[in-house]
Amino acid sequence: MNFVFTPAHHRFKRMALACAGTAALLLGCGGGGGSSAPVAATTAPVIPPTVSIDVFGARGASLTAIVSATNCSATPSVSWQTSSGGALGSGLTIQDTQATATISATATCSTATATETLSANSVYSTLAAFAVLQNGKAIAWGNPVWGGDTSGAAALSNISQLYPSERGFAALINNGSVGLWGSSYLDISSATSALTNIASIIPGRVAYFGIKKDGSLTAWGVARGLITQNDVAFNDANAGLSAATLASLVNIKSIASTEGAYAALKNDGSVVAFGDADSGGDASSVQTQLLNVKQIVATNYDFVALRNDGSVVGWSGSFGWSTPTSAQLLSNIKSLSTNGAVGVALSSSGTATAFGDITQVDAVDTSSVASLLTNIVSISATQTAFAAIRSDGSVVSWGDLPRMQGSLNSVQPALVNVKSLYSSDYAFAALKNDGTVVTWGQAESGGDSSAVAAQLNNVVAISANHYAFAALKADGSVVTWGMASKGGDSSAVAAKLTQVRAIYATALGAFLAVSKDGSFTTWGDQWAGGGSVPASLSKIPYSG
């Protein structure tokens, strides 16, 4: 049908167009003629901003906030604070340095805020057992002689803090006494003095050091002696822990341990070493240099101390620097790290230098990547290799060519925009800013994630044991890979792995996932804590 416009039509058309331009301001343009009174303008309803926050990550590790917001005038911000309101940091991700305390994360979007409060950490692990501390009682499971003895834990009450070592747990009781369960190596009857008035405890490998309220120290467990290389109790004369040495062990800040020796860093920056001389227990050759020390790290048989001026001092009966002059070449250092046999020194300018056991020359020798070891922000290690993140998000990896090189070459182009690195015994996993994951190294240790690659997106955190990895996604689901029997296969419990907020691990092959509502799931090697949990444990609080 065709329309023909008459003059009247044209007049109406002009009126409609005129009204269109003023419709937002005036109403009633037509119908009653020009005498219609103007109507007050209307405005669109104001939609208030909204914001929500959800935190992921194990307490004591990296914590990540996921924020959802609408109608913000600017990008939402996140702040982290203690229960008393003290600032811990800002941004979507922080390193949790207050694991034993309640903390909170607050998201702000214009005038809207949302806060999630995280419960204090209650999960602890040895190499092959878990323990959960609740209301002054500990609930343990896993390998009995490595700390999984349920009855040993249940016998104690009024526990204020747990301290795991490699093979057992020490419990600090409210009255300053100590309880312990796990390996017979840790027998408290071997203590060098009464376990009373204890303020804090420092774990060793198969030993413990109790710091008393007066600043003095008591030790128990097993030491490799100065007089004999047999493993002996600390209160045995063959341990070589003389009265003079014990008297010097006051006001201790931290203790590092090699296979058979210990180095105690005191609050004044001085150092006391004791134990097997061939493992670093004799520091007499460098004692005058061990002043103003701020950090001590240990390889299997060597100690390395970082001083406040950025210089480094190392010692051992069989000291393993890669070259005789390496110690003198290390200066302007800000941190030290080690994988047991080899260490890496990170300088204030961001350069990295490897040192250590010359038999591990592959990991010590950085010549092939030396030009790339600049602008380093963090370093991760397997047993035999290292990987470093540069400030531009790229990754440099070296060491263990037989296990690493082939797979590393295949994924190197994808190692960009990386924000964190994780490691098993012989494999690495890189978490990128976009939530995807890149892996390399020994396939059996998690270096090959191809079977689950399609699922490795929106990842917010990764946990690892010696053999496998577990990735936590933003929807609360979990993806695993690596040695199936050690936690790399979670298919049997997949239906339970929902709304997960934190994943914990025992090094020898088990995982524990905690959901937002406090429910939990274990998987992996039952011997290492991946099996059934005592019925007395019903919830593990994460937030609330």
Residues 501-536: pLDDT tens digits? Answer: 999 999 999 999 999 999 999 999 999 999 999 999
Residue 89 included in any domain:
yes
Q: Which of residues 313 and 241 earns the better pLDDT score?
A: 313
Cβ atoms of 542 and 501 within 8 Å: the answer is: yes
Q: Kindly state whether residue 212 falls inside one of the protein's structural domains.
A: no
Residue 66 CA to residue 72 CA, distance in Å, equals 16
Query: Would you say residue 446 lies in a domain?
Result: yes
Q: Which domain holds residue 85?
A: 50-118
Mean pLDDT value across residues 224-247: 76
Of the candidates 90, 118, 146, which is a domain's last residue?
118
CATH number of 444's domain: 2.130.10.30
pLDDT value at residue 216? 95
Residue 531 CB coordination number (10 Å): 15
pLDDT of residue 37: 59
Residue 107: CATH number of its domain:
2.60.40
More confident position, 320 or 210 = 210
Of the pLDDT bands very low, low, confident and very high (cuts 50, 70, 90), residue 357 is: low
How many angstroms separate the CA atoms of 460 and 470, rounded?
11
Tokens 């609330």 correspond to 544
Whose CA is closest to 178, among 170, 186, 169, 190?
170
* pLDDT tens-digit map of 113-127: 999 999 999 999 999
Structural domains in the chain (count): 2
Percent of the chain predicted with pLDDT > 90: 68
- The pLDDT of residue 224 is above 70: no
Task: Evaluate if residue 71 carries a pLDDT over 90.
Answer: yes
Q: Which residue in 355, 360, 354, 391 sits closest to 374, CA to CA? A: 391
Residue identified by tokens 């190692």 is 415
> Would you state the pLDDT for residue 242?
84
pLDDT, mean of residues 386-392? 95
β-strands 303-307, 293-298: how paired? Answer: antiparallel
Report yes or no on 460 lying in a domain.
yes
Mean pLDDT confidence for 460-467: 98
CA 406 to the chain's CA centroid: 28
Half-sphere exposure of 467 (CA within 13 A, CB side): 19
For residue 489, being part of any structural domain is answered with yes
3-19: average pLDDT: 38
**268: pLDDT strictly greater than 60:** yes
pLDDT averaged over every residue in the chain: 88
Which residues lie across from 256 on neighbouring strands?
263
pLDDT at position 30, please?
A: 42
pLDDT band of 18, cuts 50, 70, 90: very low
Cα–Cα distance for residue pair 498/215, rounded to 1 Å: 46
Q: Could you tell me if 523 and 493 are in contact, meaning their C-beta atoms sit under 8 angstroms apart?
A: yes
- Which of 62, 95, 118 terminates a domain? The answer is 118
Residue 291 lies in a domain: no
* Per-residue pLDDT, 12: 34
Please report the pLDDT score of residue 209 as a whole number: 95
Reply yes or no on whether the pLDDT at 29 is more than 60: no
With 50 as the cut, is the pLDDT of residue 326 above it?
A: no
Q: Is residue 254 part of a domain?
A: no
- Show Cβ contacts of residue 161 under 8 Å, excluding neighbours closer than 6 positions: 100, 133, 171, 172, 200, 201
- What is residue 509's predicted lDDT score, i.e. its pLDDT? 98
Of the residues 118, 134, 158, the one at which a domain ends: 118
Query: What pLDDT was estimated at residue 226?
Result: 57
Closest CA to 241 of 226, 258, 259: 226
**Mean pLDDT within 399-405:** 78
Task: Give me the pLDDT at residue 8, please.
Answer: 42
pLDDT of residue 36: 56
Could you tell me the pLDDT band of residue 483, with boundaries at 50, 70 and 90? very high
Contacts of 490 (CB under 8 A, 6+ apart): 470, 478, 480, 497, 511, 523
- pLDDT for res 185: 85
Q: Is residue 259 part of a domain?
A: no
Q: Do 518 and 541 form a contact (C-beta atoms < 8 A)?
A: yes
